[in-house]
Amino acid sequence: MSRLDLSTRDEQLRELMDDPDCDPQRLQATLRRFGLVNRLISGWDLIYRRRLRSLLTSFDRPARVLDLGSGGGDVLTRLAQLAAADGITVEWTGADPDPRAHESALRRAQPGITFRCADAEELISGGESFDLVLSNHVLHHLDADELRQFTAASQQLSSGTVLHADIARGRLAYGLYAVAITPVAPGTFLRTDGLRSIRRSYQRAELAAALGPDWEVSSPAPFRLLAQGPGRG
C-alpha cells in the first residue's frame, strides 16, 4: 500500500455531507455531533480568549457578529456562551445557504442568536453590515476562485475584523484524527469527511500565499490555522 501523500492539497476530494443527496439522518447526526468535535479541535475557546474578547468589548454598544457558513450553529452558540459568561452582550448571527444545515442550526437559536438561510451575496444585497465576521472550516471547501470571492465578501460584510479558522494539513493531524474520531463517528460522516477535510486543507504558507498581503495567517493551536484580515464594509 502506497503512503498517503499530504505534501499538496487534494482539491478533487469532496466531502460526503456536501452531496445534496446524502443520507439525511447521517447528515443531521453529523451536524449535531459537531458541537462536541469542534469544542475539542476547533480552537475557538482559545481564539475567544486571545482575540475575540477584546474585540467584542471595544464598542460602546453590543457588537454585531456574523458566522458565515455557520453550519449547524455550534461554533456560534459556543462563542455566545463564552461571551455571556464574561457579561458581554453581543448580537450573534449565523448564515448558511444550505437549508439542511439551517434546519439543524435553528434548534440552537435563542435570545441574542439568529440563524439565516443565506449566503454572503444575499447579505450584501440586503445591505447588511457587521462589526466582526468569522468562519470555521469553510476555506478548505473552496477552490481558488471561490476562496477569493468568499474572503472578499466576508471583508465587505465587516466594518471591523474578519477571522477565518481552519485545519492545518499534516500527517500527524491526519493520524491523530483518524484514531480519536472513531468512538464518536458511527452513524455520521465525521470520520470520512474529517479525513478528507484534512487532505483538502492548507498549510500555513499556502494559505498566506492564497489570501495575499492583506491577511495575517497564524497557528493559534496545534493543527489549526487562523486568517485575520481587515473589514471593508
Flag whether pLDDT at 66 surpasses 50: yes
pLDDT for 2 equals 57
Mention every residue, 6+ apart, whose C-beta is less than 8 A from residue 165: 42, 43, 44, 47, 134, 135, 136, 137, 220, 224, 225, 226, 227
Domain 34-168+203-230: which CATH number of 3.30.379.10, 3.40.50.150, 3.30.2290.10, 3.40.640.10:
3.40.50.150
Flag whether pLDDT at 5 surpasses 70: yes
Residue whose C-alpha is closest to residue 123's, from 72, 157, 92, 159: 157
* d(C-alpha 68, C-alpha 231), whole Å: 14
**pLDDT tens-digit profile of 148-165?**
999 999 999 999 999 999
pTM of the entire structure? 0.95
* d(C-alpha 169, C-alpha 139), whole Å: 12
Of the pLDDT bands very low, low, confident and very high (cuts 50, 70, 90), residue 3 is: confident
3-state secondary structure of 160: strand
* d(C-alpha 56, C-alpha 132), whole Å: 9
Mention every residue, 6+ apart, whose C-beta is less than 8 A from residue 173: 167, 198, 222, 223
**pLDDT tens-digit profile of 83-92?**
999 999 999 9
Flag whether pLDDT at 130 surpasses 80: yes
**pLDDT tens-digit profile of 193-210?**
999 999 999 999 999 999
The chain-wide mean pLDDT, for the chain, equals 95
Q: Rounded to a whole number, what is the distance in angstroms from the first to the last CA of the chain?
A: 51
Flag whether pLDDT at 1 surpasses 70: no
Of the pLDDT bands very low, low, confident and very high (cuts 50, 70, 90), residue 131 is: very high
Domain extents for the chain? 34-168+203-230
Which grid cell sits at 48?
475567544
Helix axes 204-211, 144-157, angle to 10 degrees: 70
